Structure 1
Amino acid sequence: MKIELGLTSFADNSDIYTDEGRQSALSNAERIRNIIEEIELADQSGLDVYGLGEHHRPDYAVSDPVTVLAAAARNTEHIKLSSAVTVLSSDDPVRVYERFSTLDAVSNGRAEIMVGRGSFIESFPLFGYNLNDYEQLFNEKIELLLNINQNEIVHWEGQLRASIDHLGVYPRTENGPLPISIATGGTPESSLKAGALGLPITYAIIGGDPKRFKRNIDMYKAIADSYGHDINQLPIATHSWGYIAETDEQAKREFFPSVKASHDVLAKERGWAMYDENSFDREAGPHGALYVGSPETVAHKIIETIETLGLSRFMLHTPVGSMPHEKTMHTIKLLGERVKPIVDKYFENK
């Protein structure tokens, strides 16, 4: 049983909080260059996939993941390169396909598209879209993207996006359609949509007991089966916040300040409670959604999640908030060189 293990990042770029104090944020340019180094190290360390998020706000450095992934592609050999996510509702499916098919060429067939509705909504007014059309925009655009992925010459009729009358979309990929999956924070609508379309799904599990997502996965499988899709051929993935150090105590000490800083920014925007050490310790425990600790601790928690939810891919999201580049590099190395062998060995005879 092959389990893919990888990373996701949002290229967080605000002031850097550590257990030793606060440092000024990097320039966006320097953070982007660091991301490329992190992807290259993930490949060298044997990880299977790297997903990079799209944002359009000052505390995240990357608005165009494909350009960054393409830069990393030339110095990587095996790792799959994915968005995490492409906010499809506020993008154009023709350009999405063209960018990713170009990335696929540069990377020799390693490009993937992970699409979502967008939990951050800054891109909608930025690109002139009405949030009242939130659902219809996604439904139309995923339909068009799938059409383009399967057909060189596209005929498609839309309402919010202009129709396409038998026009070609280029460049085409060398080895068949691009892998496209739907990412969700757990809304039933996303599970229903992915299941109906027969697309792989990724769940962002960033709070509470990961086991509760089994209901979403069961729903996804039931809908997929009812539409005639082979559920055994549909990959299911999760990504969760995490950090690895030599010991559990070190990992928690180094990770907490940046998690709190990041969470509290969103808490002010969305009316959440401020983050505290009790919340952190609860989420870092055996029934929480933080994968924090030594390589052995994190590996065993990942194994339990994979078995409970029936996953084929697990992605650790790190850093959360801004952390020193060297600490992020170290956790990537530990994930690839010490966590992954434990996970691989456990599942090799399953």
Structure 2
Amino acid sequence: MEIGIYTLADLNSNPQTGRTISFKQRIDEIIKAAKMADDAGLDVFGVGEHHRLDYAVSTPAVVLSAISQVTKQIKLTSATTVLNTIDPVRLFEDFATLDLLSDGRAEIIAGRGAFLDSFPLFGYDPKNYDELFEEHLKLLLHLNANEKVTWNGRYRSSLKDAEISPRPVQQKIPIWAGVGSSLESAERAGRFGIGLALVMLGGNPSEYKPLVDLYRISSDQAGHPIENMKVGVTGHAYISKTSQQAIKEFYPYHSNYWLHLNRQHGVKKTFSKEEFNQMAKKESALFVGSSQQIIEKILSQNELFGHQRFIAQMDIGGMPFKKVAENIERLATEVAPVIRKETRQ
């Protein structure tokens, strides 16, 4: 199994100090975290996309290109690309360039986004939310497979024998769909023959099993090779010496993250300490605990999903970089080797 980390580059204030770092410091720390992950032998590093002043990254390809120059082996992915509101041609060209800069390490996780800010920003109508994603995904896959493209769609100007340049090092850039709870999105990922990246931020992992099952059924019905059926699990994680210490240390940042996120959506709610303790239990989807507990949780979910990748989001809620670095080290040195050994086929 591949093990990695990702960031959405949120700019929350540190709940312990009340301080919010600058855009510059956040970007610098993301690049530093990616280099640490690469040096430690992790497999994947992801960067998300948002178009708001409380997030530091709006163009993952640019940040990942910078990361490509200070790393050697780690795969570099968006996490996620808001595919509804980006021109697929520009997206492909940017990630093909990243692939060249990184010597074949670029990937794309495409999602529909948690906010609607990018729709008016780039001139799209939110009413066409799902139709835009479907059409843009079709075109992106067509661009990925062909050097010259003829295309007619509803939401984008037509292409006739358009030369799509540059071409990546890889024959095709790996593309995944980021899916939270939508059966329709899981079915679409299978139908198009791309990877499924489950976004699991809470609840019981068994609740996500129907998504994986539907994904595999639809992929099989569409005639895609079984080796194309890649499943990844993504979610919040925090690793410490003991479960009690992990819960104590992570709760302020986890609570701060959700308080801020819910406010953005007009909801005044966060998780109480008691609710957080329930979320951190063994049977939950939240990865909080000692290294051994994280190992057990990943392996338990592997029995459920048969997934090939796990990537953790650690740097949330204004967490200082020192704690992020400690988590990267524990994930790479204490968790990843055991997971790889236990899941090796």
Q: For the superposition of Structure 1 and Structure 2, which TM-score range results when normalised by the shorter chain?
A: over 0.9
Matched with 1:280 is 276
Matched with 2:105 is 110
Mapped to 2, the partners of 1:121 and 1:288 lie a distance apart of 29
Mapped to 2, the partners of 1:13 and 1:271 lie a distance apart of 19
Matched with 1:182 is 177
Mapped to 2, the partners of 1:261 and 1:304 lie a distance apart of 29
Mapped to 1, the partners of 2:40 and 2:99 lie a distance apart of 22
TM-score (norm 2): 0.97
Mapped to 1, the partners of 2:223 and 2:268 lie a distance apart of 41
Matched with 2:324 is 328
Q: 1:211 corresponds to which letter in structure 2?
A: S
1:193 aligns with 2:188: yes
Mapped to 1, the partners of 2:284 and 2:117 lie a distance apart of 29
Instruction: Give the 5 Å matches for 1:1-350.
Output: 3-17=1-15, 21-268=16-263, 269-271=265-267, 273-348=269-344, 350=345
The secondary structure found in structure 1 opposite 2:310 is strand
Q: 1:329 corresponds to which letter in structure 2?
A: A
Q: 1:155 corresponds to which letter in structure 2?
A: T
TM-score (norm 1): 0.95
Q: 2:318 corresponds to which letter in structure 1?
A: S
Mapped to 2, the partners of 1:244 and 1:60 lie a distance apart of 24
Q: 2:154 corresponds to which letter in structure 1?
A: Q
Identity %: 38
The CA deviation string for residues 228-269 of structure 1, in whole angstroms up to 9 with x for no partner, is 123343111110111112222222111111111111122232
CA RMSD of aligned residues (A): 1.3
Q: 1:256 corresponds to which letter in structure 2?
A: Y
The CA deviation string for residues 117-164 of structure 1, in whole angstroms up to 9 with x for no partner, is 112221111111110011111111111111111111110001111111
The total of aligned residue pairs comes to 344
The Cα of 1:14 is off from its aligned counterpart by 1.6
The Cα of 1:320 is off from its aligned counterpart by 2.2
The secondary structure found in structure 2 opposite 1:201 is strand
The secondary structure found in structure 2 opposite 1:16 is coil
Q: 1:136 corresponds to which letter in structure 2?
A: E
Mapped to 2, the partners of 1:206 and 1:216 lie a distance apart of 15
Mapped to 1, the partners of 2:251 and 2:12 lie a distance apart of 15
The change in CA–CA distance for 1:178 and 1:255 in structure 2 (over 3 A counts) is: same
The Cα of 1:37 is off from its aligned counterpart by 0.2
Mapped to 1, the partners of 2:178 and 2:270 lie a distance apart of 26
- What stretches of structure 2 of length at least 5 have no aligned partner? none
Structure 1 stretch displaced more, 245-254 or 183-192: 245-254
Q: 2:295 corresponds to which letter in structure 1?
A: A
The CA deviation string for residues 252-302 of structure 1, in whole angstroms up to 9 with x for no partner, is 111111111111122232436431111211111012121111111111111
